[in-house]
C-alpha cells in the first residue's frame, strides 16, 4: 500500500470512526432522535454566579466547605444505568477503534503506529462482510441424475423464484439511495418485503433434493442468495448501523452479479445435459 493510499484509508476510517462515535454516544442518551435536517446546535456561555459565603453553625468553616467534607464511608452503586454494551457494528467499531487509539497513545513508542491501527481496523471490518457459506452437509442430495430428475430439479428452482415476488419491482439499491437522499428512514420499510422474498426463496431452495451432478452449482446458488439477502438486510440498517451498510454495499454489485451467474450456470448445465421443459415453464425466463 502506497503512502497516499494509507493516508486516504486513514482519513476514511478516521471519519467513519468519528461518525460512528457520534452514533454510539447518541445511543447511550435518552434524548429523542432528531433528523439531520432539523438538528441545530446552539452553544451559549454558561451562567456564572459567586458562591454565597455563609456559616450557619458559626464554627468558622463556610458552609460550602463543610458540604465537601465527608465523615462517613462512600457508597458506590454496584450497577450503572447509563451505559449499555454496543450492539451494532458501528457502535462496536467506534468503541474498539477509540480504545485502540488511546492504548497506542499510552504505550508511546511501543504502541501501534497510525498506519498499523488503520490496517488492523480495516481487517477487522472486512471480517464482518464475510458470509458463512453453505456446505455439502447442509443440503439433501440424490444419486439420481436421470434427465427426468435433472429436468424436475430445474423446474423447481425456477418455480420457487416466481412464488415470491416484490410487486413494486424497485431495486433495493434505488430504495436505499432515495432514503439517504431524503434523510428519511421510513423509506427503508420498502426493503422489508424484499428481505422476506429472499428469505423464502433461500429456505425453499435449500430444502430441494439435488442431483449429485449439480451439488456444486446448487451450493453456489444458495450462497449467492444468502449474500444478496445479507446485503439487503444491511441496507435496512443504514440509519442505525451505517458502518455495516457501507461494508455490504461495497460488495453488493458483485453479489448481485454472482447470483445471476449462479442461475445461468445451473440452467446452462441442465440444457447441455439434455433436460427439457414444457413451453410455459418458468425455466425459460432464465434461459431466454
User: For residue 180, what are the CA distances in angstroms to 93, 137, 239, 252, 262?
Assistant: 22, 41, 9, 17, 31
Question: Count of alpha carbons within 13 Å of 271, Cβ hemisphere only?
Answer: 11
**Whole-structure pTM value:** 0.63
Q: Can you read off the three cell numbers belonging to residue 170?
A: 424497485
Radius of gyration of the chain (CA): 29
- pLDDT, the chain, mean: 76
Cell (9 digits) for 239: 440509519
CA distance 117 to 96: 11
**Higher pLDDT, residue 30 or 209:** 209
Is residue 238 within 8 Å of residue 181, measured between CB atoms? no
pLDDT for 34: 42
pLDDT at 78: 60
Q: Contact at 8 Å (CB) between 246 and 16? A: yes
**CB 196, CB 232: distance < 8 Å:** no
Residue 195: exposure state from Cβ atoms within 10 A (0-12, 13-18, ≥19): middle
Q: How confident is the model at residue 241 (pLDDT cuts 50, 70, 90)?
A: confident
Instruction: Report how far residue 183's alpha carbon sits from residue 50's, in angstroms, rounded to the nearest whole number.
Output: 46
Cβ-defined contacts of 2-11 (< 8 Å, 24+): 6/115, 6/118, 9/118, 9/122, 10/114, 10/115, 10/118
Element (H, E) at 148: helix 147-163
The arithmetic mean of pLDDT across residues 71-87, rounded, is: 57
Contact 89, 97 (CB under 8 A): no
Give the model confidence (pLDDT) of 166-208 as tens digits.
Answer: 999 899 999 999 998 999 999 999 999 999 999 999 999 999 9
Q: Are 142 and 149 in contact (CB under 8 A)?
A: yes
Neighbours of 10 (CB within 10 A): 17
Residues in Cβ contact with 213 at an 8 Å cutoff, skipping those fewer than 6 apart: 145, 150, 273
Angstrom distance (rounded) from CA 96 to CA 14: 13
Model confidence band, residue 86 (pLDDT cutoffs 50, 70, 90): low
* Per-residue pLDDT reduced to its tens digit, 106-154: 555 555 565 665 566 566 666 666 778 999 999 999 999 999 999 999 9
Amino acid at each position: 500500500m502506497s503512502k497516499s493510499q494509507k493516508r486516504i484509508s486513514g482519513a476514511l476510517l478516521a471519519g467513519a470512526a468519528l461518525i460512528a462515535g457520534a452514533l454510539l454516544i447518541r445511543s447511550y442518551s435518552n434524548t429523542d432522535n432528531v433528523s439531520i435536517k432539523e438538528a441545530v446546535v446552539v452553544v451559549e456561555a454558561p451562567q456564572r454566579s459567586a458562591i454565597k459565603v455563609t456559616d450557619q453553625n458559626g464554627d468558622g468553616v463556610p458552609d460550602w466547605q463543610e458540604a465537601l467534607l465527608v465523615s462517613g464511608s462512600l457508597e458506590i452503586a454496584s450497577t450503572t444505568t447509563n451505559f449499555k454494551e454496543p450492539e451494532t457494528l458501528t457502535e462496536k467499531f467506534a468503541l474498539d477503534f477509540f480504545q485502540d487509539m488511546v492504548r497506542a497513545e499510552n504505550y508511546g513508542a511501543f504502541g501501534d503506529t497510525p498506519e498499523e491501527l488503520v490496517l488492523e481496523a480495516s481487517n477487522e471490518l472486512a471480517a464482518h462482510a464475510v458470509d458463512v457459506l453453505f456446505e455439502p452437509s447442509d443440503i439433501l442430495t440424490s444419486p439420481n441424475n436421470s434427465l427426468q430428475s435433472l429436468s424436475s430439479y430445474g423446474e423447481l428452482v425456477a418455480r420457487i423464484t416466481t412464488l415470491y415476488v416484490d410487486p413494486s419491482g424497485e431495486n433495493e439499491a434505488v430504495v436505499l439511495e432515495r432514503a439517504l437522499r431524503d434523510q428519511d428512514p421510513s423509506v427503508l420499510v420498502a426493503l422489508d418485503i424484499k428481505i422476506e422474498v429472499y428469505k423464502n426463496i433461500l429456505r425453499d431452495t435449500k430444502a430441494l433434493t439435488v442431483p449429485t451432478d449439480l451439488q456444486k452449482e446448487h451450493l453456489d446458488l444458495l450462497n449467492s442468495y444468502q449474500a444478496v439477502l445479507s446485503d439487503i438486510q444491511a441496507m435496512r440498517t443504514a440509519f442505525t448501523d451505517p458502518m455495516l451498510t457501507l461494508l455490504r454495499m461495497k460488495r453488493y454489485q458483485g453479489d448481485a452479479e454472482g447470483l445471476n451467474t449462479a442461475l445461468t450456470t445451473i440452467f446452462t448445465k441442465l440444457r447441455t445435459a439434455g433436460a427439457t421443459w414444457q413451453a410455459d415453464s418458468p425455466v425459460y425466463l432464465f434461459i431466454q
